[in-house]
Structure 1
Amino acid sequence: MTTASSTAVPTLIGSVQRALRLLEAVGTHREGAPAKQLAREAGLPLPTAYHLLRTLTHEGYLRRENGVFLFGAAAERLVGGRAPAPRRGVIIESLAHWADVIGAPVYCAVYRDGEIDLVAVADTPDFPAVEEWAAFRETGHAHALGQCLLSQLDERAREDHLDRHPVQPLTRYSVRDRPAFLDRMRSMNRTEPVVERQEYALGTVCAAIPITVGTAVAAMAISLPLDQEERLLPAVEQLRCEVTSLLRSFVFSISI
């Protein structure tokens, strides 16, 4: 008599199948791809894709850089047998929590080796992150995260950055030139959030706060649609009040 266990058809786990389709989609893009494109190519609803991408990122199979998803250290180890590397999952998980609680995308960036480095972004289908339509690290003068990071540099380092990445208006609301931008830097109050309104992306407002972690130059930010601007300052204040609970995770990620 044949036992049930020997004749049973293996159960296909739908979530695993969907995750694998996303990984396959990521593998076709050497420079990475955004969530919307991956969802479309994998044939998945965007909310489902967001959930799986977040899980895969947390587990180290993917990483998110400058708005696109690429293979992470865990995926690379599967095919290359590489030694384990530090993951950004802890900080990404923390940011994802606050994106849900605050109801806005949360961004984390550092200034490292003379460049703006976007460490992590957490968003949701209802509150998507700003699409990177102009190279993020080259347009720090136009977005709140970049302005917040550059305001923490000394004048020499700031001038050096602007030599390599000149001030150019991206929208009709952007700072127009280098002297105007430097004047803004000098007038900033380090205890107040850095706010930009439609300087990087039309229809979007953003606020950033500096993060003190040893000698690191770092910042966190949120963005909102222009028609929700009244939520901006209360939301960033909520983030600032809770940021102490994130610092331990942030310290872990700062060296990645």
Structure 2
Amino acid sequence: MAGNTSISGSTVTSRALAVLAAFDGEHRALSLTELGRRAGLPIPTAYRLISELTAWGALVRRPDGAYVIGRRIWDLGLLAPVQSGLRQIAAPFLQDLYLATVATVHLAERDGLSVLYLDRLSGRASVPVVSHVGARLPLHATGVGKVLLAYAPAEIQAQVLGKLTRVTPYTITQPGRLCEQLRRVRREGFAQTSEEMSLGACSVAVPISTSPGQVVAALGIVVPSLKRDRPRLVAALQVAAQGIGRSLAAASAQ
């Protein structure tokens, strides 16, 4: 429709998507002016689109005037086959794992150069956990991230190794040291971190595979310490991951 196209040729749809794309991991709350600037839109145009997106539920306006992504966007994201199928199949295994360990349990997959958290069950122990459902965190600083990085294509590994940012004083930022850890993940079948993403939190994670070498996701646990319980936690994780992998393979075969 002619009325949906600006003089520059961009459609209403592309401009609305530009508004949504203005948000990222470092810009979770934006003012009207910031949204207009990051989307490359005049303020009046941005205001009209933002008002429509807010009325629909794609955005939410906070009391301080800033806008954040609305729940409706997340609800739509959950309909994506790769995530909805994985989360549904994994749910009972995550619940069993939580009951067996009483620890914070994570289900995650790789999204580009980050780890995307698909599901989380909060443990009873007081552990500082920075993840939440929908969060994207560095691959090199998380247990589930290290698992996914260990089985990622070589070009992905090279990109991550080329910019290892420090999150805490314990984050691994030496490429050689991280490479050795990734080799150990593939050899031993699990990854671990010690206060690398947040102080006071350790993690252990294992791959979820639908066939040998075909890693589709990672399953992890966050605890205050791994000194005593690591073998028990790894065993519990592997049992759950094998169950999820078999269920995924069976579902895809139907």
- Which range, TM-score by smaller chain? 0.5 to 0.7
Which residue number corresponds to residue 152 of structure 1? 151
Q: Cα distance, 1:99 vs. partner? A: 0.8
- Structure 1 position 162, deviation (Å): 3.9
Deviations 1:189-223 (A, max 9, x none): 43332121111111111111122124444211111
Note if contact 2:195-2:201 (Cα within 8 Å) is conserved in structure 1. yes
8 Å CA contact 1:123, 1:129 repeated in 2 = no
C-alpha distance in structure 1 between counterparts of 2:168 and 2:101, whole Å: 27
Q: Secondary structure at the match of 1:130?
A: coil
Q: Note the alpha carbon deviations across 1:227-249, whole angstroms, 9 max, x for none.
A: x6412331221221343222355
Instruction: Select which of 210, 221, 239 maps to 1:213.
Output: 210
Q: Is the 8 A contact 1:170 1:199 kept in 2?
A: yes
Task: State which of 201, 204, 207 in structure 1 corresponds to 2:201.
Answer: 204
SS in 2 for 1:190: helix
Change (3 A) 1:157 1:233: same
Residue 130 of structure 2 aligns with which residue? 131
* CA apart distance, 1:183: 3.8
- Residues 48-105 of structure 1 show CA distances to partners (whole Å, capped at 9, x for unaligned) of xxxxxxxxxxxxxxxxxxxxx97368967xxxxxxx7654344234312321222211
Q: Is the 8 A contact 2:97 2:240 kept in 1?
A: no
Distance 2:129 2:229 in 1: 17
Aligned residue for 1:230, secondary structure, equals: coil
Q: C-alpha separation between the residues in 2 aligned to 1:246 and 1:125? A: 24
1:106 deviates by: 1.4
| Matched letter for residue 71 of structure 1 | R
Aligned-partner Cα distance in 2 for 1:168–1:147: 14
Cα 1:176–1:113 shift into 2, 3 Å: closer
Question: TM-score, normalized by length of structure 2?
Answer: 0.56
Q: Aligned pair count?
A: 178
Q: Distance in 1 between matches of 2:118 and 2:178?
A: 25
Whether the 8 Å CA contact 1:129–1:223 is kept in 2: the answer is no
Gaps of 5+ in 2: 1-27, 30-68
Structure 1 length as normaliser, TM-score?
A: 0.55
CA–CA distance in structure 2, aligned partners of residues 178 and 192 of structure 1: 20
**Residue matched to 1:176:** 173
Equivalent residues of 1:100, 1:124 under 8 A apart: no
Q: Displacement, 1:128? A: 6.3
Q: SS where residue 97 of structure 2 aligns?
A: helix
Q: Percent identity?
A: 19
Paired letter, 1:225 = P
SS in 1 for 2:169: coil
Question: 1:202 and 1:247, CA in 2 relative to 1: closer, same or farther beyond 3 A?
Answer: same
3-state SS of the aligned residue for 2:155? Answer: helix
Paired with 1:201 and 1:157, the residues of 2 have a C-alpha distance of 24
2-structure distance, mates of 1:90, 1:209: 17
For 1:151-196, what per-residue CA distance to the aligned partner results, in whole angstroms no more than 9, with x for missing partners? Answer: 1124323113444xx2022222221333432343345443332121
Cα distance change, pair 244–169 in 1 and its aligned pair in 2 (3 A)? same
User: What are structure 1's unaligned runs of at least 5 residues?
Assistant: 1-30, 33-68, 77-83
**2:121 corresponds to:** 122
Q: Indicate the RMSD between aligned Cα atoms, in angstroms.
A: 3.8
Match of 1:108 in 2: 107
Q: Which moved more, 1:110-119 or 1:168-177?
A: 110-119
